[in-house]
A and B are shown apart, each in its own frame.
Chain A
């Protein structure tokens, strides 16, 4: 079946512009995660969704960052008034479920490479 898809794959934008990054999770996966990865660095947690609600938004770097998920499926990460330090690869992942007595593997999308000039 299809994996996690993200669009666009690359985005170059001017400082101060707004951008929207999209994530399409694996069908049936109820949990969705956003991470940021700067060049040569680890995975920085941004936000995750359980269904359409986001129980943990603490990873969002500033109020310029927001995310939503509708219909328990597609999610959009919006960055307003982009800054050069926002340049990174933004990765989305989904998992079958969350919590309970188990833990679930995350399936990552290919990422969106954002460059702010």
Chain B
């Protein structure tokens, strides 16, 4: 079953913060986050494992709430380069396929 992402789209001004959510109806083993710019391939951002710690680098971080079967991606002090479509991918058991959400389109304006 496909995870549900929200919001579907968000528009920010440079320097503003954003949160993207990813929810599953099934228990999760891991959550992956990827960003895809227009006309390009998706690029890996981070993985969160069941029982693992919150991950992050620079101004992008993420959390994984196993009880709620939900992950959130936090973008702080957004930059123009953050624009793109963000996908979460969920893995139900170790080694199973990754099922992606429909994506969240993020636009950062000057």
A117 to B: closest C-beta gap in Å: 21
A65 at the interface (CB under 8 A from B): no
Residue from the list A35, A48, A103, A111 in contact with B94, Cβ < 8 A: A103
Give the complex CA separation of A103 and B29 in angstroms: 9
Taking A102-B49, A103-B30, A103-B91 as contacts, is the C-beta distance between A45 and B41 under 8 angstroms? no
Say whether A41 contacts B94, CB under 8 Å.
no
Q: Given A43-B100, A56-B97, verify A105-B47 contact (CB < 8 Å).
A: yes
The answer on a CB contact under 8 Å between B95 and A100 is: yes
Task: Tell me the interface secondary structure of chain A in the complex.
Answer: loop
Check: B1 CB closer than 8 A to any chain A CB. no
The size of the chain B interface, using a CB distance under 8 A, is 25
The residue that B95 contacts in the complex, of A35, A98, A106, A110, with Cβ under 8 A, is A98
Q: How large is the interface on A (under 10, 10 to 19, 20 to 34, 35 or more residues)?
A: 20 to 34
Question: B17 → chain A, closest Cβ, in Å?
Answer: 24
**What is the chain A residue whose CB lies nearest that of B43?**
A108
Query: A104 vs B44: C-alpha distance in the bound complex, in angstroms?
Result: 10
Nearest Cβ on chain B to A25's Cβ, whole angstroms: 13
Against B, the Cβ 8 Å flags (1 = close, 0 = not) of A43-55 are: 1110010100000
3 shortest A-B CB distances, which residue pairs? A99-B95, A108-B41, A103-B30
- B residues within 8 Å of A by Cβ? 2, 29-30, 32, 34, 40-44, 47, 49, 87, 89, 91, 94-103
